Amino acid sequence: MPNQSVLITGASQGIGKQIALKYAQKGATVYINYPFESEIENAEKVANDVTELGGKGYIYEADVSVFSQVKKMVDDIVSDHGKIDVLIANAGITKDKLVMRMSPEDWASVINVNLTGSFNCTKAVTKHMMKARYGRIVYISSVVGIMGNAGQANYSASKGGIIALCKSVAKEFGARNITSNCIAPGYIETEMTKNLSEDVNKEFLSRVSLKCFGKAEDIANAALFLSSDQASYITGHVLVVDGGLSL
């Protein structure tokens, strides 16, 4: 783990940030992706935190929905540091509306960032992983990608697509010692979920078997496991981390 180099997309906040800090505690080199110039301050803070925790943190800007930007980011990382052992495809957005009210633009933007972004990152990193004959890919999906959710047709479709992408990548690249796995979080307390109403929070909590919401660290722990030697014979798997929400 101390020698691992990890690219985490959307790592300037939320779950991505917590994953970065978890790897830092193991002494990893962490490449912190952020999407726009407006996020550079947050990304720099995460990089500093990574270094303080014992890792090495570097920031790289790229909009994951644009392949040319992703390719440049990945090529720059390999040129600067030599390798990418692990990809954590975490970047994602939401634009929630009922289908009847959802615009084609709302649909497309969520699909482009969440699903196409995951494909773009996979395509860019696997070229280098194949040469090294080693790689660990962990996608951050969602339980709504398994069970759907009213008002989140675009988000659910993108996360369901990520699960299918994960399984296909596992079949295509397994012979090169590249594993591909998925984490399907339930309700996790992040900056994104803090904006939900008290009524929505209560409704979700009533459906969680453990009667508490998950933390970003719960997802970080799962990501660390799936990219570790302990998970070297696990590929194409969807690890649900939801406290029993989807039961």
| Catalytically active residues, by annotation | 155
Query: Angle at which helices 40-52 and 14-25 pack, to 10 degrees?
Result: 20
Q: Which tokens sit at 181?
A: 């796995």
Tally Cβ neighbours within 10 Å of residue 173. 19
Q: In angstroms, rounded to a whole number, what is the distance separating the alpha carbons of residues 111 and 191?
A: 21
Q: Phi first, then psi: what are they for 240, rounded to 5°?
A: -85, 125
Residue with tokens 């020698």: 3
- Alpha carbon distance 112, 97 (integer Å): 17
**Looking at residue 84, what DSSP letter applies?**
-
Is there a contact between 135 and 85 (Cβ–Cβ < 8 Å)?
yes
DSSP string covering 27-62: T-EEEEEESSGGGHHHHHHHHHHHHHTTSEEEEEE-
- Identify the three-state secondary structure at position 230: helix
One-letter amino acid at 84 equals I
Q: Give the residue among 37, 41, 3 at the shortest CA–CA distance from 17.
A: 41
